[in-house]
Chains A and B, each alone.
Chain A
């Protein structure tokens, strides 16, 4: 149904020309009834006089009318009930969460949730205490919905980890699929992996490449899908964000703003060439001119972390962002049947200052990941839907997916030693990971993976990352609805 033109389809069929045929059908029925009636009357005629026959005829006609009236009243009652059902509020519960909707769908409220129970076990860590753990990585009630037909909202707090924070809080106005305006706090439209929904990530943690892109930010952006959804664009103005920061704030005390934009094309999405339908590529980027006197923070990343979430690089104290900062990230993915490949390259160019010393630092990172669904389901950017949801009684086991990834991040060598020191930071990191994901059904997933990260250029004490390689075994049990 066209949302602007909810035409009364049932009544549309009430063109007189359209109801003529049933009438003719009915006419045949009546003729048959009349014939039978005639026969009956003929037989009756042997035993009764004309007056009796006439009375009987009238009685039958009266009864026939009563039956027709009752049938029509029933039809009208059904129509009334159907109309009432259309305007009645609807509640639904399913794999996509809870949904409450007004009868006309102008108002919709949905409740989703995401819970991730993780474990991290570090090997060859020389008995360092306190880093092997079970943890509640993410615990999010997700409230989404629509008011007045065109205004969507999302409110997502996160109770996972050690900090309760508001992750997403935004309102999106849909003028048209091609022109929408989103305001509030949400993911900055730059990094591919960062933009992938948390519940669909191949591994427990995002790769080193995501360390260089902005995380969630506050701002306003125009966005939309053009050319039948084959080109997606975002362009917005934001407070500006340092390289990936897991803890996001709800304010930014700085005068300068950042522009972030992204174009992503899926040219063959709607074509009949099946092996090209899942190809997508694009570029995201951001630009900000930062003045150290206009911010009360240093404007720099709190640090780059490894897959095991251990910090291996941070700027020295007294270093500030000063001048232009820009990022660019060519990115793409390819899905065909059970095969999935994602990759992106990121350049984060940051002007920094410490005292009188200034430098234009260019940190770079890239990642490529691949996946293969062993049970044959289609891989996609939005996860895997098992063909046979887990039910051992029926010998159904869900879907299994093998995953692998390689990533690398290089800090500009000019950062050392003035703006960062090798005594506490490495100059680069490389990480490879491999794992197995088990999709029990659309909502529950379990996965296990191993990740090894090696570091280069570090001169500090050994015994822990980045002083030695990090070897981590991850597990996760996830509920997402």
Chain B
């Protein structure tokens, strides 16, 4: 009798708790993706509603990619992460063990549904005549870039500059280091994230050149007006591949594993790729890439795996505590 009553009570309680409810996801992302995911979340919610009848609301959290990864490691309950570089997701997998180490194999293109690169944003008319990486270390030039210890975009920018120095110095690492040292002597303030650096350059009117994500530079033109800034494409830059991943353990705990996977898969759909292109990210799909080709300059893009031996090595060499950046940056 007791067992029967208890079973009834248990089933009743579970039935009540299982009543239809809105699905909530948390996407922990890096700094300049606010606009991208605002558009994308709306599109995905419509898609998911049509497919399943369920309402899904995706909350966004943004900040420097490294900082965001650390927040997830420290307990921020992200269902998915869409960060600036693979190393930051590797850190979540390695330190917090919230997802498997082979997370990058789960979606196409090493789980990077779009790419980007680093360009220069300068004042309108380019008054300091900045055309390539050599120009940013000329006397009197002030460079704005975020802190590579906390910002993924800043790490990409650092490696882009390093790649240029290598290419122009017969791959002499010492000369590349000298060049990077010079670059950061021209950086008066380090923001923690790429968006902060944009604010420093565009709103606070500090500096002559912003080392910016390509999408962020285009967005600045769109939002502040093309009469305020120009985009300068250097001769060489880096192929930035921002990755995405489901945070398995958190999503399982929240009961959102299925929808989290679908959320990231949909980034590769025609609509997802189109939204990426609209927001000045370089789409992976050939159709979307062709559609938005005119808004992206052609330049030589260096691959982090080829030039730096992958993110793990690059991180250890340049950005880990005591690494090259710590050695060369003078506070």
Residues of A within 8 A of B (CB): 2, 4-8, 11-12, 14-17, 19-20, 22-23, 26, 30, 65, 68-69, 71-73, 76, 79-80, 87, 104, 106, 149, 175-176, 178-179, 222, 224, 226, 233, 235, 237, 257-259, 261, 287-289
Contacts and interface: CB of A to CB of B under 8 A. Distances in A.
Contacts of A233: 13
B204 A72 contact: yes
Interface string B1-28: 1100110011011101100000010100
Which DSSP category, helix, strand, loop or mixed, fits chain B's interface?
helix
B200 interface: yes
A104 B74 contact: yes
Contact of B2 (A5, A15, A237): A237
A87 B76 CA distance: 11
Which DSSP category, helix, strand, loop or mixed, fits chain A's interface?
mixed
A285 to B, nearest CB: 10
Interface in B172-196: 188-193, 195-196
A76 B188 CA distance: 12
B34 interface: yes
B205 A8 contact: no
Closest 8 CB pairs of A and B: A235-B9, A5-B59, A16-B223, A179-B17, A69-B188, A5-B26, A14-B195, A23-B203
B239 interface: no
B254 A4 contact: yes
B220 interface: yes
Contact of B220 (A8, A16, A222, A287): A16
B116 interface: no
A178 B60 contact: no
B1 A237 contact: no
B273 interface: no
Nearest to A8: B61
Interface in B226-254: 254
A6 B6 contact: no
A71 to B, nearest CB: 7
7 contacts: A7-B61, A14-B34, A20-B223, A26-B203, A176-B17, A178-B16, A261-B9
Range, interface on chain B: 35 or more
A30 B205 contact: yes
* Max chain A Cβ within 10 angstroms of own Cβ: one of B2, B5, B12, B222: B2
B224 A72 contact: no
Nearest to A233: B13
A244 B191 CA distance: 65
Contact of A7 (B38, B60, B198, B222): B60
Contacts of A176: 17
A30 B59 CA distance: 37
* Max chain B Cβ within 10 angstroms of own Cβ: one of A14, A26, A175, A179: A14
Interface in B50-86: 59-63, 74-77
A73 B1 CA distance: 71
A80 B206 contact: no
A22 to B, nearest CB: 6
B203 A69 contact: no
A226 B189 contact: no
B142 interface: yes
A222 B74 CA distance: 30
Contacts of A79: 192, 196
B202 interface: yes
A17 B223 contact: yes
A76 B189 contact: yes
Nearest to B188: A69
B237 to A, nearest CB: 22
Contacts of B35: 15-17
A224 B13 contact: yes
A4 B247 CA distance: 14
A255 B254 CA distance: 37
Given A17-B223, A235-B6, 17 more contacts: A2-B59, A5-B77, A11-B195, A16-B220, A23-B224, A68-B204, A68-B206, A69-B189, A72-B200, A76-B192, A79-B196, A104-B74, A104-B76, A178-B17, A261-B9, A287-B1, A287-B2
